[in-house]
């Protein structure tokens, strides 16, 4: 009777080793899938993100324009002085920005002009590219934005 028990243990040991190997393979496949999904998310247009323009503040202010891009491309703009809304439409690497209502907040002329120029530059972008934690909007005047870290 000792031999059949021994054989069962030996077979069971091989089965256990096979199960462990299979489990490791499944875990590795799940990890690779998760990493590829994360990489695709980093490469896609940054919907659901708040970003700050890579620019220096204007004289007498610490404020730098930022955009908050909603999950459906809706945008809340906070410019050097003015604020407003807009909409991004994205297809592949093509992007269109349509400005909405921009609030004039009794801005000094220099800041109002800079805000108007930034809205015009956003409206003239044609393509986009992710660069790490940044977004490059490409048009006659390229604009770089960085994801706001918390």
Coil, helix or strand at residue 83: strand
User: What is the model's pLDDT at position 30?
Assistant: 37
Which tens digit of pLDDT belongs to each residue from 39-77? Answer: 334 479 999 999 999 999 888 888 999 999 999 999 999
- Identify the H or E element spanning 100: strand 94-103
Q: Over 90: is that where the pLDDT of 16 sits?
A: no
41 in helix, strand or coil? helix
What does pTM read for this prediction?
Answer: 0.70
Secondary-structure percent of the chain, ordered helix, strand, coil, rounded to 5: 40, 30, 30
Once rounded to an integer, what is the mean pLDDT over residues 126-137?
94
What phi and psi, each to the nearest 5 degrees, are found at residue 132? 65, -125
pLDDT band at 23 (very low <50, low <70, confident <90, very high): very low
Q: How many domains does the chain have?
A: 1
Q: What is the CA radius of gyration of the chain?
A: 27
**36 occurs within a structural domain:** no
Residue 141 has pLDDT above 70, yes or no: yes
Containing structural domain, residue 119: 49-147
Residue 44 lies in a domain: no
The CATH number of residue 56's host domain is 2.40.128.270
| CA 79/CA 43 separation, integer angstroms | 26
pLDDT value of residue 58: 86
**Residue 18 domain-assigned (yes or no):** no
Residue 9, pLDDT > 50, answer no
Torsion-angle region of 18 (φ positive above 0: left; ψ -120 to 50: alpha; else: beta)? alpha
Q: Is residue 40 domain-resident?
A: no
């Amino acid at each position: 009777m000792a031999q059949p028990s021994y054989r069962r243990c030996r077979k069971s040991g091989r089965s256990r080793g096979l199960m462990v190997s299979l489990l490791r393979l499944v875990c590795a496949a799940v990890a690779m899938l998760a990493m590829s999904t994360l990489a695709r998310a980093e490469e896609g247009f940054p919907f659901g993100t708040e970003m700050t323009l890579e620019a220096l503040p204007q004289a007498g202010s610490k404020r730098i324009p930022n955009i908050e891009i909603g999950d459906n491309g809706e945008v809340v703009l906070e410019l050097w002085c003015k604020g407003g809304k807009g909409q991004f439409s994205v297809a592949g690497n093509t992007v269109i920005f349509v400005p909405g209502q921009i609030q004039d907040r009794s801005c000094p002329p220099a800041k109002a002009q800079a805000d108007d120029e930034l809205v015009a530059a956003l409206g003239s972008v044609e393509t986009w590219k992710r660069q790490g934690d940044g977004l490059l909007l490409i048009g006659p005047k390229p604009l770089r934005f960085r994801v706001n870290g918390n």
